[in-house]
Amino acid sequence: MKKSRGRTGRNRRRKHLKSFMDGVNCSHKLEYIKLKKWLKERGFEDSNLRPAEFWETGRGLMTTKALQAGDLIISLPEKCLLTTGTVLSSCLGGHIEKWKPPVSPLLALCTFLIAEKHAGQKSPWKPYLDVLPKAYTCPACLEPDIINLLPKPLQKKAQEQKMLIQELFQSSRAFFSSLQPLFAEDTGNIFNFSALQWAWCTVNTRTIYMKHPHRECFSLEPDVYALAPYLDLLNHSPNVQVKAGFNEQTRSYEIWTDSQCKKYQEVLICYGPHDNQRLLLEYGFVATDNPHSSVYVSADTLLKYFSPLDKQREAKVSILKDHDFLENLTFGWEGPSWRLLTALKVLSLAADEFACWRRILLGDVTSARNEQQALGTAAKICQFLIEETQHVLLQISQLKRDKENLKTHLALVEMLRSEDLKILQKSAEILCNLNLGTT
């Protein structure tokens, strides 16, 4: 006879599911044991945070005690931070100080990361390097086929990000060669493009903002980076608030929470009020139901809905360009943005209304016809973007079946596009109600 699982079986299942939702503690893993020991040697007091794997966010930090608003989440001593000061006190320092034209603070940090990674066991930073991601999901690291699936405005920024790293690599080759005396192996093999791309993404996605005084040996770009071991395991949520900064009294970088967090739950911080395109571009991830998210309308898409036969079309486009109304036009959770509607109203001006364009830019109403036409066009653009997004989502689901190796990157773009679709559908609903109201 089969034994009934009864209540104990159900409880066990519930407990297992709960621990899965809360996160699986990973502090027993060797790399985290070594990292904690290394941090302790540098004065880090063990806090209530434990490394864990979470269902939604992946690797993060959980708390072993309930946190209240106003509690200190983490305090990382200055000795644990990796800054340009760290770089200058290493064997790279002398070479950086002599090099002309001066290198940027960003390049100094990238060079240090590559050199320490190459040093392997000999690097004093090895326990930190061992927990850094081996690869990144920023657009700069995505295949061209994947980039083509991104929304047009983000495609452009992804290409710019790729070019930026490419140019940094080309312009730094002579500097990398000058470091040859420090290495037995050819610097061309150590400081190759993929090594720089990894280091650049490490700095771009993981640094905290920390202002340092300008040093003569660096270029004039702001020196505002610090890599913060362990602290950088904290994941982002747009729905929490924190206070963060370097405390001059304690000589530590501190994060204080403004939110509550239950015991054994993931501790989340906010990287800033960023939309999903910015989060993907800068950090390589997307947030679900992000209140700051919006869908961008490119100038090309906007102008498709206005006749080339309109004699004042060129003048209208010129006005929008001069007053910066062809960029950052969006649909959000509350419908079309004021900027988008303003651009549409200018483009919808009838010949006898054209002289009123200044009033529109100030937020005035010209005519009921103009208002209605702008709303109608917004609804058409929204519908076009919905169909385009649905088409891309279909493409992605087909590619996921065919391209096993690109599954992670495809899932990321799929998430971005699905979030966009939610926003566009909400905007379409709002526009439908507004259009009904004006008819």
Rounded distance, CA 127 to CA 37, Å?
A: 9
* Residue 96: both structure tokens together: 């950086």
Output the pLDDT for position 265. Answer: 93
Run of H or E including 165 = helix 152-178
For the chain, the domains span: 82-227, 294-438
Looking at beta carbons, which pairs linking 99-105 to residues 24 or more positions away fall under 8 Å? 99/175, 99/178, 99/217, 101/219, 102/216, 102/217, 102/218, 102/219, 103/172, 103/175, 103/218, 103/219, 104/218, 104/219, 104/221, 105/212, 105/218, 105/219, 105/221, 105/222, 105/223, 105/224, 105/225
User: Strands 294-296 and 268-269: what pairing?
Assistant: unpaired
Find out whether 416 and 150 touch, Cβ atoms under 8 Å: yes
Measured in Å, how far apart are the chain's first and last C-alpha atoms? 71
Output the pLDDT for position 439. Answer: 53
For the purposes of burial, counting CB atoms within 10 Å of the CB of 88, is it exposed (0-12), middle (13-18) or buried (19 or more)? middle
User: Strands 72-77 and 252-257: what pairing?
Assistant: antiparallel
Fold of 82-227: set domain protein methyltransferase, domain 1 (3.90.1410)
Find out whether 422 and 376 touch, Cβ atoms under 8 Å: no
User: Strands 242-247 and 252-257: what pairing?
Assistant: antiparallel
CA distances (Å), 152 to each of 157, 272, 277, 420, 423, in order? 9, 24, 11, 13, 17
Output the pLDDT for position 404. Answer: 86
Find out whether 226 and 207 touch, Cβ atoms under 8 Å: yes
pLDDT grade, residue 438 (50/70/90)?
low
Output the pLDDT for position 151. Answer: 93
Fold of 294-438: set domain protein methyltransferase, domain 2 (3.90.1420)
Model confidence at 3: pLDDT above 50: no
pLDDT averaged over the chain?
Answer: 92
What's the predicted TM-score (pTM) here? Answer: 0.88
User: Strands 225-227 and 72-77: what pairing?
Assistant: unpaired
pLDDT grade, residue 362 (50/70/90)?
very high
Candidates 244, 240, 218; CA nearest to 231 is 244
Edge-to-edge strands, sheet with 49-54 = 24-25, 49-54, 58-63
Average pLDDT over residues 86-105: 97
Decide: helix, strand or coil at residue 136. coil
DSSP string, 357-375: HHHHHTT----HHHHHHHH
- Most confident stretch, 10-19, 42-51, 188-197: 188-197
Rounded distance, CA 334 to CA 249, Å?
A: 44
CA distances (Å), 46 to each of 36, 40, 242, 293, in order? 8, 7, 20, 36
Output the pLDDT for position 56. Answer: 84
Q: Bridge-partner residues for 209, per DSSP?
A: 225
Find out whether 208 and 253 touch, Cβ atoms under 8 Å: yes
Which phi and psi (to 5°) does residue 84 adopt? -65, -25
- Give every CB contact of residue 39 below 8 A, 6+ residues apart in sequence: 76, 80, 229, 230
Our measurement of the distance from residue 351's CA atom to the centroid of its chain's CA atoms, rounded to an integer in Å, reads 44
pLDDT grade, residue 6 (50/70/90)?
very low
Average pLDDT over residues 107-117: 98
- Residues 198-242: tens digit of each pLDDT: 999 999 999 999 999 999 999 999 999 999 999 999 999 999 999
Q: Of 4-13, 203-212, 227-236, 260-269, which gets the smallest average pLDDT? A: 4-13
Tokens 């005396």, residue located: 181
User: DSSP E strands: which ranges in 166-270?
Assistant: 207-209, 225-227, 235-236, 242-247, 252-257, 268-269
- Residues 165-189: tens digit of each pLDDT: 999 999 999 999 999 999 999 999 9
